[in-house]
Amino acid sequence: MSAATARIRTAALGFAAAGTAAGLATRLFGGRPSQCDSGSFSKSEFRAFRVSSVRQVNHDTKILRCALPSEQHVMGMTVSSLVMVKGGAGGEEGKPPPARPYTPITTDDQRGYFELMVKGYPSGVVSKHLCSLKAGDMVEVKGPFEKLPYKANMKKRIGMVAGGSGITPMLQVLKEALRNPLDETHFTLIFGNQTPSDILLRQEIQELAATSQGRLRVVFIVDKNPSGDSGVQHVGYLTADVAKAELPPPSPDTLVYVCGPPGMMKAVSGAKGKPPAQGDLQGILKDLGYTQDMVFKF
């Protein structure tokens, strides 16, 4: 088996095991200020927020709506940013409870609440805890922590390769960019999943594209399409040929975001380094001629 074929097969496995992939940046929060109490969140300690509602997205994923201190509060985070979310009341053998990174899918100026999309895994301590929460329960959050700040027109073209719940940072950027009439950036999103039923927030993504005035093009790719879903553009592996055909070509005016499970990341862009390091660019994108400064791994 060639190295390129091995990477492609790994990409397919990565989509099937999709999870939230995000690293913790250490730079200070620099987003727009809250219109109310700027102390709602903290980077140094977890703070509790009440779950106001829980929405089932599909068979293994939920959206938790978490109330801010008042209806006038906003999160005020930099796009793009993540938060650390604590799972449960205590860790193993007296250790602190584990925490994992999640990317809020609401806009930075959403009043009164923020939302987290959580994909549950049988062995995921934090995700199992979060998926068990009900309205009225509390969730402990620390952050926000800034990743790569998005600025209008910072690039002419942005490609996005997401697997499973790796869609969350892409949504955060798209919602910010597409509502700004002064932003002329064009986006291409390749969203990989195991089957059409696994495509998270499909309707919302399609609505973003439909109202983007041509600035967002969405490409769905699935490992299997048992229902013959006509809205899926590619069935099978994410190959170099598919990436070349769909993504904007390598250029100083191009940036490609990648977010997904480790297998997908390794195949598409190379493994992510220990935050804040990005790790060397490898995989399909390197083979296609993209350079380190043209790719950002969430």
Which residues pair with residue 86 across a beta bridge?
A: 99
Is 102 annotated to bind a ligand? Reply is: yes
Q: State the DSSP code for 207.
A: H
The H-assigned helical ranges of the chain are: 3-16, 125-131, 167-178, 202-210, 240-246, 262-268, 283-287
Is 155 annotated to bind a ligand? Reply is: no
Is 215 annotated to bind a ligand? Reply is: no
Please provide the size of the chain in residues: 298
Which strands sit side by side in the sheet containing 81-86, from one edge to the other?
99-102, 81-86, 138-146, 47-58, 61-67, 113-119
Separation of alpha carbons 91 and 79, rounded Å: 31
Separation of alpha carbons 221 and 106, rounded Å: 25
Is 218 annotated to bind a ligand? Reply is: no
Q: Are 196 and 222 in contact (CB under 8 A)?
A: yes
Is 44 annotated to bind a ligand? Reply is: no
3-state SS, residue 176? helix
- Closest to 82 (Cα-Cα) out of 187, 169, 153: 169
Is 100 annotated to bind a ligand? Reply is: yes
Helix and strand numbers, DSSP H then E, in the chain = 7, 12
Is 237 annotated to bind a ligand? Reply is: no
Q: Are 190 and 248 in contact (CB under 8 A)?
A: no
Separation of alpha carbons 116 and 143, rounded Å: 13
| Per-residue tokens: 124 | 């995921």
β-pairing, 138-146 with 47-58? antiparallel
Residue where the block lists tokens 């027109």: 153
Binding residues for FAD: 100-102, 119, 126-127, 168
Binding residues: 100-102, 119, 126-127, 168
